[in-house]
């Protein structure tokens, strides 16, 4: 079966970086687009270029939105450091972005190809702008497989996950646009897929520039989670959105109507899934509720070790 065609929209970010390596092994990545999120746009773009250069990936990187639609830009240095990719010494980056028009890239790529999946793993600003500027692409895509939201506790607030919270208005546009499929890998799912010392050791044992670099990314990422939660296990949030396209057989999904709270004082950015028995709200989302973590982790480690 042909590899799924995707546009990967990201805000690298440690888990975004691993998801790029995974996606490049299992998908035809037509483009990588970057957005302000874990770090400011200049850094998330640099980090995407860094990963493509390090892994010798011939994928164009297009920079996108440097701020959310309406709320103030917010970043996540606690989780990802000041550069967005703290941990390993930063290699020199010689590549440049293909354009500063991620939205135009999404629109033209979808118009030029059938069955493209949009795989956003950062704030949904670029995707929302593309849907607003070119509503025709909504029915052309195969679907949206996003990392974001949660059915249950958030991370940036008790009720909201960072990607959705960082641009709730964009998220509401994407969830309610009417795309053929919206698959949501929320925190309730991604917290089931954690890397730890075992995975870092496997990468180091394998050797190679990319596995060693990712092992150092894991060390930084794990140290942050150990500091904050007391547990040396770190969720591979963004790779879940890739696997939901490439290996949906590893998941269980439930069809739900999901909308996004854009204004709540305590609930801004909450993904509100209608779980009422017998609700008449028609589902607009396949909410991932379970993942078979062991084969998923093997796929991640195997993908990273497939690079030099």
Q: Residue 122 interacts with Ca ion (CB under 5 A)? A: yes
From the list 14, 80, 237, 257, the catalytic residue is 237
Taking the least distance from each CB to ligand RIB, the nearer of 66 and 108 is 66
User: Which neighbouring-strand residues pair with 34?
Assistant: 10, 63
Cα–Cα nearest to 291, from 256, 254, 252 = 252
Instruction: Look at the block and give the residue holding tokens 């065609």.
Output: 5
Q: Residue 86 interacts with ligand RIB (CB under 6 A)? A: no
Active site residue 237: yes
- Give the residue, chosen from 4, 13, 186, 211, that forms a contact with Ca ion under the rule CB under 5 A: 13
Dist CA 256 CA 241 (whole Å): 17
Q: Residue 38 interacts with ligand RIB (CB under 6 A)? A: yes
CB of 294 to Ca ion, least distance (A): 23
Instruction: Look at the block and give the residue holding tokens 């053929």.
Output: 180
Q: Residue 11 interacts with ligand RIB (CB under 6 A)? A: yes
Query: How many residues touch ligand RIB (CB under 6 A)?
Result: 16
Dist CA 171 CA 262 (whole Å): 9
Contact window for ligand RIB (CB under 6 A) among 7-15, 55-63, 219-227, 264-272: 7-15
Dist CA 251 CA 44 (whole Å): 29
- Give the residue, chosen from 6, 7, 9, 15, that forms a contact with ligand RIB under the rule CB under 6 A: 15
Q: Residue 149 interacts with Ca ion (CB under 5 A)? A: no
Dist CA 166 CA 288 (whole Å): 21
Q: Residue 16 interacts with Ca ion (CB under 5 A)? A: yes
Q: Residue 168 interacts with ligand RIB (CB under 6 A)? A: no
- Cβ-contact 25, 2 below 8 angstroms: no
Q: How many CB atoms lie within 10 A of CB 5?
A: 19
State the DSSP code for 91: P
Distances (CA, A) of 46 to 17, 184, 241, 273: 11, 27, 22, 35
| C-alpha 250: how far from chain center | 18
Taking the least distance from each CB to ligand RIB, the nearer of 8 and 107 is 8
Q: Residue 9 interacts with ligand RIB (CB under 6 A)? A: no
Answer with the entry of ligand RIB, Ca ion, none that 161 interacts with (C-beta below 5 to 8 A by kind).
ligand RIB
Q: Residue 161 interacts with ligand RIB (CB under 6 A)? A: yes
Taking the least distance from each CB to Ca ion, the nearer of 119 and 129 is 119
- Give the residue, chosen from 63, 121, 236, 240, that forms a contact with ligand RIB under the rule CB under 6 A: 121
The secondary structure of 186-239 as a DSSP string is -HHHHTTSEE-HHHHHHHHHH-SHHHHHHHHHHHHHHHHHHHHHS---EE-HHH
Mask for 231-270, x = binds Ca ion (CB under 5 A): -------x--------------------------------
By CB under 6 A, name the binding residues for ligand RIB.
Answer: 11, 13, 15-16, 37-38, 76, 121-122, 147, 155, 161-163, 237-238
Q: Which residues are catalytic?
A: 237
């Amino acid at each position: 079966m042909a590899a799924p065609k995707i546009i990967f929209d990201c805000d690298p970010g440690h888990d975004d970086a691993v998801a790029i390596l995974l996606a490049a092994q299992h998908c035809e990545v037509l483009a990588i687009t970057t957005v302000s999120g874990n770090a400011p746009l200049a850094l998330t773009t640099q980090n995407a270029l860094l990963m493509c250069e390090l892994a010798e990936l011939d994928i164009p990187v297009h920079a996108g939105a440097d701020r959310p639609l309406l709320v103030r830009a917010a970043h996540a240095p606690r989780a990802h450091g000041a550069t967005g990719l703290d941990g390993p010494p930063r290699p020199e980056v010689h590549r440049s972005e293909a354009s500063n028009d991620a939205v135009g890239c999404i629109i033209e790529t979808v118009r030029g190809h059938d069955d493209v999946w949009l795989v956003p793993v950062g704030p949904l600003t670029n995707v929302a702008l593309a849907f607003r500027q070119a509503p025709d692409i909504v029915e052309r895509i195969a679907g949206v497989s996003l990392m974001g939201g949660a059915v249950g506790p958030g991370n940036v607030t008790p009720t909201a996950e960072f990607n959705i919270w960082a641009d709730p208005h964009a998220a509401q546009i994407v969830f309610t646009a009417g795309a053929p499929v919206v698959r949501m890998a929320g925190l309730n799912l991604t917290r089931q897929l954690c890397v730890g010392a075992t995975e870092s050791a496997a990468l180091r044992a394998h050797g190679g520039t990319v596995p060693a670099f990712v092992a150092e990314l894991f060390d930084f990422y794990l140290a942050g989670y150990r500091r904050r939660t007391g547990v040396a296990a770190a969720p591979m949030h963004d790779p879940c959105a890739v696997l939901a396209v490439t290996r949906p057989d590893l998941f269980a999904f439930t069809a739900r109507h999901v909308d996004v709270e854009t204004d709540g004082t305590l609930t801004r950015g909450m993904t509100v899934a209608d779980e009422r028995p017998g609700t008449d709200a028609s589902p607009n989302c396949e909410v991932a509720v379970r993942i078979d973590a062991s084969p998923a982790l093997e796929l991640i480690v195997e993908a990273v070790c497939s690079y030099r």
